[in-house]
Amino acid sequence: MSPNTRLLLYALAAVVALIVLISRFKLHPFVVLIAVSLGMGIVAGMPFSSVVKAFQDGVGGVLGYIAIVVGLGTMLGKMMAESGGATRIATTLITLFGQRRVHWAIMFVAFIVGIPVFFQVGFVLLIPLVFTIARRTGMSLVKIGIPLVAGLSVVHGMVPPHPAAMLAVGAYQADVGRTIAYAIVVGLPTAALAGPIFASWIAPRIALPAESPIAAQFAGGAGGVPRDMPGFGVTLFTVLLPVILMLCASTADVALETASTLRAALDFVGSPIVSLLLALLFSFWSLGYQQHFTRDQLLKFANDCLAPTATVLLVIGAGGGFNKVLLESGVGKAIAAVALGSHPSPLLLAWTVAALIRVATGSATVAMTTAAGIVAPIAVATPGTHAELLVLATGAGSLVLSHVNDSGFWLIKEYFNMTVPQTLKTWTVAETIIGVAGLGFTLLLSLVVGCAPPPPREQRELSAQGWIDVTAALDPARTPVYAGDAPLKFEFLKDMRKGDLLTLSVYSLGAHSGTHIDAPMHFVANGASVDQVALDPLIGAARVIDIPDSVRVIDAGELRRHDWRGAKRVLFRTRSTLRGWMDSPEFHRDFAYIAPDAAQLLADAGVLLVGVDYISAEQFGAAAPRTHQILLGRGIPIVEGLDLRPVQAGDYDVIVLPLKVARHEAAPARAIVRKPTGTFVGLTAARTHRK
């Protein structure tokens, strides 16, 4: 049995164990998720310490964002419920669409609201409406709720500017505007099938408990005292305020320069957490003081609604931990390897790879970005493939079969107060319908758009034109050597200048000489050696960041002052470049270094490669090599000793290739960059495929 097959069987057993322990033996999901996650990591061969750390990182990564969103969104929903605002919107929708069609209205509202916001944000904003409409109409919560999550999910997976969709757009070199247009054409009928149509069929077959702790928080009617409801306009503006702010931020990112102060301000207020906070504060006035609530009542609303979210958040966080253990154990890579062996068409391959990774890891974002990276080179070499349709196929696959390893599964289960089997019959089936229908409509659309030629791509031979060498020359007379490292010694064994028949040299130098790559083995026990470092982080788009000469410590505060987010490879141009230190034999101990908190930010953001312009990224004399441990511990290679004098800050294509030295922690490398041309990915991938 191959290692990949064994790993997939372990993952399948872990999922089955989760379902059985929770649904059959009635164990608490929080406890089961922890136990199964740790067991999965151990049987997969992960070191004990790595298993615990992976689970902790997964919990922290999910809750660091979700906990704040759920908390703020729940308080905003409570304000809407207690003030009568949710009832006002619900009655208006019922009046406009009629009680029999209100679930269709919810789907369209979710589709529109979901375009500029994340799934979780849209969910907590709109869930109060679902509870209120279900209570007032007597309709099943499932019949109203499934259209809500279907509309939000389709937009989350298929429609830019959502992060995963945008990353796929970049990987496939697709046109953003055309992708959005196609996504709406495919997304609306997909959401209709998985939402109102499926919900109408499944709702009579799902019996929910009469009481729901979360729904009770949105029952409204403070103290049972009747009061006038707020106006429809002010209530709608309050709930849509986060959407408006996020939409402004997205517009600013397109219309304004990166260095614009206005863009930075709009990005700040348009971030999910800040926009929700501002909406909540506004609701205290519009739905609180304007409705004659006292400060004591507002405080009570906030306290009352947060208590039931504790269990919800713990289960969601544990689901994120399980997800992280699956990723760290290599399940995603094993799934991708299996899919690539089947050789289907690019659209089917993109969907299949994304779907398999989604099922194995539970993360739609990981599934979409990983699948796009795998399929893009094959798609480029396949004539007639429409990049925009590949984005949709990948997005559809990334949504299929959400189950117990997806934190969204637990979010829906806890809010709707369903059992695990009920959540599988509703949410999981709805997500699978989205995945399958999304692929089907994409294939139908390909029959239409396939009649028109795809947008032309520049076709030219890959050449040395535009490439800039940023490698520091290896020369014993002018290459700096880190204190205590081996000196450079170059000798001629034979020299034609001295009458020999040939020239023959011998070199003696340390592995960390000049421009070089540090592999995980450098500071991570059992880490990958330099010959095992994959090509993916070493080739692709990079961003050069200018650090002022006066800055010696690139800490989290300094990093936040620069536009680096979204870059997959980050190269720091510091005082070492400005002073030409990579071309000076003297070792300078006061070089600029990356602080551990900045390294953590880079690692958490998913950066693939970090580069510096001196022979170490670590503070000289540091008590512990934390920066290296953080980056290399995440599998992020570090390129040190770059000579960035020929380039300025900005975006580049980069290639950094180390010598393939077996079973060692580092090796000298050659590094070149050039300004992006739009053909780098395609030409490189096509050549690789032809070989």
Alpha-carbon separation of residue 572 from 354, 469, 483, 668 (angstroms): 33, 16, 22, 19
- Reported as a pLDDT band with limits 50, 70 and 90, residue 287 is confident
Helices (H), 84-175: 85-97, 102-114, 119-137, 141-158, 163-172
* Tens digit of each residue's pLDDT (9 = 90 or more) over 132-141: 788 777 888 8
| pTM, entire model | 0.51
Helices (H), 307-428: 309-328, 331-340, 346-361, 364-380, 387-397, 407-416, 420-423
Does an H or E element contain 639, and which? strand 638-640
Is the predicted pLDDT of residue 292 greater than 80, yes or no? yes
- Choice between 482 and 12, residue whose per-residue pLDDT is larger: 482
pLDDT at 582: 93
Name residue 30's amino acid: F
Domain 469-674 has CATH 3.40.50.300: no
Both structure tokens of 159: 């429609």
pLDDT at 685: 34
pLDDT-wise least confident of 38-47, 328-337, 463-472 = 328-337
- Choice between 102 and 337, residue whose per-residue pLDDT is larger: 102
pLDDT at 678: 47
Instruction: Read off the DSSP letter of residue 642.
Output: B
* Tens digit of each residue's pLDDT (9 = 90 or more) over 151-176: 888 988 887 756 567 667 766 777 76
Buried b (16+ CB within 10 A) or exposed e, 478-498: ebbbbeebeebeeeeeeeeee
Q: DSSP string spanning 454-516?
A: PPP-------STT-EE-BPP--TTT----TTSPPPEEEEEE-GGGT-SS-EEEEE--TTSSSE
- CA 576 – CA 589 distance, rounded (Å): 11
Region 510-514: mean pLDDT is 94
> What percent of the chain is predicted at pLDDT more than 90?
29
pLDDT at 229: 76
pLDDT at 321: 79
* Tens digit of each residue's pLDDT (9 = 90 or more) over 614-631: 999 999 999 999 999 999
Residue 512 among the catalytic residues: no
Domain boundaries, the chain: 3-316+329-449, 469-674
Q: What integer best gives the mean pLDDT of the chain?
A: 81
Buried b (16+ CB within 10 A) or exposed e, 42-66: ebbebeeebbbbbbebbbbbbbebb
- CA 652 – CA 72 distance, rounded (Å): 39
Catalytic residue among 28, 522, 562, 588: 522
